[in-house]
Amino acid sequence: MVGVLEDLVMTETPSNDGTLIKAGIGMTAALVRRLLGETAETVEVDGRPHLRLRGGSANPVLVLCHLDTVWPAGTTRRWPFHVADGRASGPGVFDMKAGLVQALYALRSVGCADRVTLLITSDEEIGSPSSRALIEEEARGCRAALVFEPSANGALKTARKGTSMYRLLVEGRAAHAGLEPQRGVNALVELAHQVQALAALGDASVGTSVTPTTASAGTTMNTVPASALVDVDVRAWTAEEQSRVHEALSRLRPVLPGAALHLTGGVNRPPLESEQSATLADLADRCAQRLGLPPLGRAEVGGASDGNFTAALGVPTLDGLGAVGGNAHAEGEYVDTRLLGERAELICAVLEELTADDWGAE
């Protein structure tokens, strides 16, 4: 497993590099053939490839992974895959190439490929713009979805916040900042008013955050800015809160006379609420106990994943089945290599239960 993980990590797959993504998909398809003895289908959506291996049953289990990472091309030259003291480190090793390795080895061992659909996407880290419809298509009719994102210090991820992404463009009017600034409408000043209003829409008491992130304005030092923009990240535990924030954003109005606002964006991923994962989390706990493994634990996290999409369709969804490690998206991310096999064994047990003929029967 560690050798396969090294191959995957050293095959760089940054989300926005189409050439490297295609090479990574090709390498992963070969890995699927080698480990599972099956040929995965390459599905292209808007020119971006994803891998799909469908089982033959009418209501399979969906095994959901992604191959892309947040790390730019060339990262492995300064930070190659390496193992020391039971930890494997390298760009993307924790999020989520180790989870993909565990999923493949579990599928090889459990022998239920005809009752599983394996989907490996290539754009999760940028919001799944091309794969969302594919994920939802495969999820419909599935008995369950298992998501191999990293664990939370070993715990399952049983709830995730929904995410919304917006861009607010402010339109003003340019003027010479020294000769006649009064003729301008300062888009940056208007943006400052709007940023305060945006931030005030969060509600910490229910875990809703509205965070202005990247922003820009103006063209030259001596010109009243004619335009400005800000990107806004919204996180919420419930669809109701996402809707509340969306409606409030839609009601924003300019403060300065002559300014105009243009809002784009909306809900990217609905929440994964704990009710959608409870039955599967209980199953995983029982499997861990039967295998003599430590209690798994459960975590509610602010980050979203493709499991948010499957849960929103009413498909029972369990996330965080991936690796045990830390520092996702950060320098030095790592996985505990000593637990790779143990985690794969747990996944085998869960799959055996889920693919049984009587799963879900009263």
Task: Report the C-alpha gap between 220 and 194 in whole angstroms.
Answer: 22
Torsion sign, CA atoms 214, 218, 222, 223 = negative
The answer to whether 80 and 10 have CB atoms below 8 angstroms apart is yes
Residue 11 in contact with residue 67, Cβ under 8 Å? no
DSSP structure class, residue 79: S
Catalytic residue ranges: 68, 124
Please state the φ and ψ torsions of residue 68, each to the nearest 5 degrees.
Answer: -75, 155
The span from the CA of 31 to the CA of 227, in Å, is 49
CA 8 to chain centre: 19
- Tokens at 347, concatenated: 């996944």
Judge contact between 127 and 268, C-beta under 8 A. yes
Three-class SS state of 341? helix
316 Cβ contact list (under 8 Å, min separation 6):
143, 144, 145, 276, 277, 279, 280
Q: Residue 65: which of 176, 180, 146 has the closest Cα?
A: 146
Counting runs of H as helices and runs of E as strands, what totals does the chain give? 10, 16
Please provide residue 193's backbone torsions phi and psi, each rounded to the nearest 5 degrees.
-60, -45
Is 102 within 8 Å of 1 (Cβ atoms)? yes
